[in-house]
Amino acid sequence: MALSLTVPYPSRYGTPVIQRVDPAIFTLRYFTHCLACGFCGDACCDHGVDVDLRHRDVILLHAARLEAWTGTRRAAWFTTRIERDEDVPGGGTVRTRVRNGHCVFLARPGRGCKLHAFCLAEGIDYHELKSLVDILFPITFAGDLLCAAEELQDGSLICSSEGPTAYRGLREELRYYFGEAFVTECDGLEAHVLAGGIMAPSR
């Protein structure tokens, strides 16, 4: 059963607006420190990722340098279909293309996200280029509900069950997007859940 927040919390972009939290984020666990993982082979990057239109446009502002960095032309980065969704920044999403079985931005050979590496090399805050959905995985949102991604809920995420809880692993990112008051209220919900006030799944 979802837990209601005392007030709505819009993200720093205005959307999404979170009013409820799935208690599963306080108990389900995942490895968290991606580049320290030696067993996943970047499996969560095999299918590409949704990029909200706000972040797509910022990525395209850096297109010339990113083409040189990634070795891939901008026309190959995103699918052409736009999924309209008023709950995401920019009012919709596109998806990164898959090439050779992986997201076009996945470093091969090597590990990790080329967008993230580009930001570190250029002194750019990675939040500027990487989409909210990407950074918060395996936490996501459905309407006004903050919840665990399906792959974490059903255990199909290769790194599920190890490491911190989803909430603890992404607490600072949630603070960045939704603010200090949001995290403070979620801390209280977490304490209530872990004290046995709400039953939530665990693995």
Q: What is the DSSP letter of 51?
A: E
pLDDT average, residue stretch 127-155? 94
Band the pLDDT of 6: cuts 50, 70, 90: very high
d(CA 128, CA 68): 19
pTM of the model: 0.91
Other CB atoms within 10 Å distance of the CB of residue 171: 17
Tokens of 127: 């939040």
Does residue 201 have a pLDDT over 60? no
Q: What is the pLDDT of residues 20-61, one digit of tens each?
A: 999 999 999 987 666 555 555 666 667 889 999 999 999 999
- Residue 115 in contact with residue 105, Cβ under 8 Å? yes
d(CA 150, CA 140): 9
Give the rounded percent of residues in the chain with a pLDDT score beyond 90.
74
Q: Dump strand ranges (E) for 96-144.
A: 98-99, 102-103, 139-142
- Residue 26 in contact with residue 194, Cβ under 8 Å? yes
Does residue 167 have a pLDDT over 60? yes
